[in-house]
Amino acid sequence: MISSDTQRVPRLNRLRDLWAEGGCAYGVIATIPSVQTVQVLARSGLDFMIIDMEHGPIDPLSAHAMIAATGGTPLVPLVRVSGKEPWHAKIPLDIGAMGVCFPMTSERADAEAVVRAVRYPPAGERYWGPFFAPLRWGVTMRDYLDRADEEVLAVGVLESVDALGTAGEVAATPGLDMVCIGPGDLATSMGLRGQSDHPDVQAAITSFETAVRGNQVVLGGVALNSQQGRAMRQRGYRALVIGFDWSLLQRGINAAMEGMPN
């Protein structure tokens, strides 16, 4: 635990305060390696952004610039990495991410690896090198090192049919902060690519929800409209992605073009 002196200092990661107060965090997945896009999104009322280094064309240099572009805004930058090994988290955390999302967290061992990857010893396997993280968060190196374990989020993603019998064990992993349900990859793993609304996929999602709700972790998912968001909030979700940067651009253009004369 952090010291009493540190507890009197406002949190670096405001998502923890939001959840402690019973609120729901809303965010977007960023796939475009663009500082300018991030600047717009960071001042658009969102709570968090997941910078996508798994599927987006985003390298560490672009990710650093995008994280830095959230400085001075309420937005909390997280990063989605492409693998479950601890080394995947090193660069995102050291350049200022306040949480890491790991794909295919299907077993208890996967979730334990997620936790170890974002915590310094003795609790984990993260080693020293946060050259730019303290600069993003406006604290000294010493303060960052003292507080990082309590501020950084360990996030696992349930997105495979293989996790149907183990989701509860994943969600019960000590130190895991959030479990997100990924409908796209889940549908793909079930042989139903692009069919997240298929009854079998929805049944699997319901199973995941039930397993996660029985634990203390935050339940996260994707809600592409307000009706879906309200329903998911009632089912216990406390973190909702409202879309991708590219999809929000498309939706905005479609709305602007609607009714335009030929």
Query: Do residues 78 and 48 make contact, with C-beta atoms less than 8 angstroms apart?
Result: yes
Residue type for 237, please? Y
Query: Do residues 184 and 201 make contact, with C-beta atoms less than 8 angstroms apart?
Result: no
Distance of CA 218 to the CA centre of its chain: 11
Q: At residue 85, what are phi and psi to the nearest 5 degrees?
A: -70, 145
Catalytic positions, written as ranges? 55
Distance (Å, whole) CA 239 – CA 235:
12
